[in-house]
């Protein structure tokens, strides 16, 4: 399991960061269990955070909605508790999560796990997916410009094969959309293939409820931009002015 300790803010760490760093050094992580140094009162639930860009240079100029860098504002954080525990053993049971990270860290996170009474978070991502597409083929275009995408789900993602016939349109594009973030899967004027993998290794995030947010998690994950997790997503196929969208669902895997 990959362990990410996020104990520093953008400008300072403070007491919250010190608490997270101390717990990170004292816990033991097994394949499906966190072992605390002693029995502690903890809450199990889900941590939600969202951040959006306030100001910064945009790709494509001022009219574009995509930022290359900037400050972040309106960052919201909330841990929603579902049950209380008193234990030194915290199971890492597969549970639904949501991760949408965009440049430069805007997006949203919804991670299940534990909150200690001092605000320290022990959150986990356990890859377990079941992809359900309403159909395995998408088409968009007209008599002059046409594209078709054939889809095939896999254990941790899906693959696509794109067929094109373009006369006026410069390219075809396939994108995946979450609720706040989108990611480009294919962008070309020639037929081709693509693969998109959701997070495929277990991750434990150790942080504090006053520190953790999408940009800090993205920094800890080495600048990763991704749409991953469970729930409803949208695939979008664009050719010139033509567009086709298809909603699909990701649930927990069967095994």
pLDDT in tens, 174-226: 999 999 999 999 999 999 999 999 999 999 999 999 999 998 999 899 888 99
* Domain residue limits, the chain: 2-129+198-230, 131-196
Please report, to the nearest 10 degrees, the dihedral formed by the alpha carbons of residues 102, 213, 97, 91 taken in order: 140
Report pLDDT for 15: 87
Give 3-state DSSP helix, strand, coil % of the chain, rounded to 5: 10, 55, 35
Q: What is the pLDDT of residue 63?
A: 47
Give pLDDT, residue 75: 85
Burial of residue 42 (CB within 10 Å: 0-12, 13-18, 19+) is buried
Q: What residues does 176 pair with on adjacent strands?
A: 183, 235
- Per-residue confidence (pLDDT) for residue 196, from 0 to 100: 97
Give the pLDDT band of residue 8 (cuts 50, 70, 90).
Answer: confident
Local confidence band at 9 (pLDDT 50, 70, 90 cut-offs)? low
Say whether pLDDT at 64 is over 60: no
Task: Please report the pLDDT score of residue 61 as a whole number.
Answer: 46
| Alpha carbon of residue 46 to chain centroid | 14
pLDDT at residue number 34: 97
Q: What's the mean pLDDT in 144-169?
A: 94
Q: What is the pLDDT of residue 146?
A: 93
Predicted local confidence at residue 83, as pLDDT = 95
What is the percentage of the chain residues whose pLDDT exceeds 90? 78
Model confidence at 69, pLDDT cuts 50, 70, 90, reads low
Least Cα distance to 152 among 128, 173, 131 occurs for 131
Query: What is the per-residue DSSP string for 100-131?
Result: EE-TTS-EEEEEEEEEETTSEEEEEE----EE
Each residue's pLDDT tens digit, 231-240: 999 999 999 8
The residue that leads in pLDDT, 11 or 157, is: 157
Q: Report pLDDT digits (tens) over 89-132.
A: 999 999 999 999 987 778 999 999 999 999 999 999 999 999 99
């Amino acid at each position: 399991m990959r362990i990410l300790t996020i104990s520093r803010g953008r400008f300072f760490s403070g007491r919250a960061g010190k608490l997270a760093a101390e717990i990170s050094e004292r816990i033991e992580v097994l394949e499906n269990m966190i072992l605390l140094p002693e029995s502690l009162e903890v809450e199990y639930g889900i941590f939600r955070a969202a951040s959006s860009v306030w100001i910064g240079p945009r790709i494509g100029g001022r009219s574009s909605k995509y930022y290359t860098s900037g400050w972040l504002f309106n960052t919201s954080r909330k841990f929603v508790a579902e049950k209380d525990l008193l234990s030194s053993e915290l199971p890492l049971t597969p549970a639904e999560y949501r991760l949408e990270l965009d440049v430069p860290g805007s997006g949203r996170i919804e991670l299940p796990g534990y909150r200690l009474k001092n605000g320290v978070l022990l959150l986990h991502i356990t890859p377990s997916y079941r992809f359900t597409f309403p159909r395995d083929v998408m088409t968009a275009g007209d008599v002059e410009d046409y594209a078709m995408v054939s889809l095939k789900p896999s254990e941790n993602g899906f693959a696509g094969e794109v067929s094109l016939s373009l006369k006026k349109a410069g390219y075809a594009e396939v994108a995946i959309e979450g609720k706040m973030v989108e990611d480009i899967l294919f962008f070309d004027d020639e037929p081709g293939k693509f693969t998109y993998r959701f997070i495929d290794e277990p991750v434990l995030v150790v942080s504090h409820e006053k520190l953790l947010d999408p940009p800090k998690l993205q920094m800890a994950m080495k600048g990763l931009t991704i749409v991953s997790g469970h729930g409803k997503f949208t695939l979008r196929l664009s050719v010139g002015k033509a567009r086709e969208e298809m909603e699909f669902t990701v649930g927990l895997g069967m095994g």
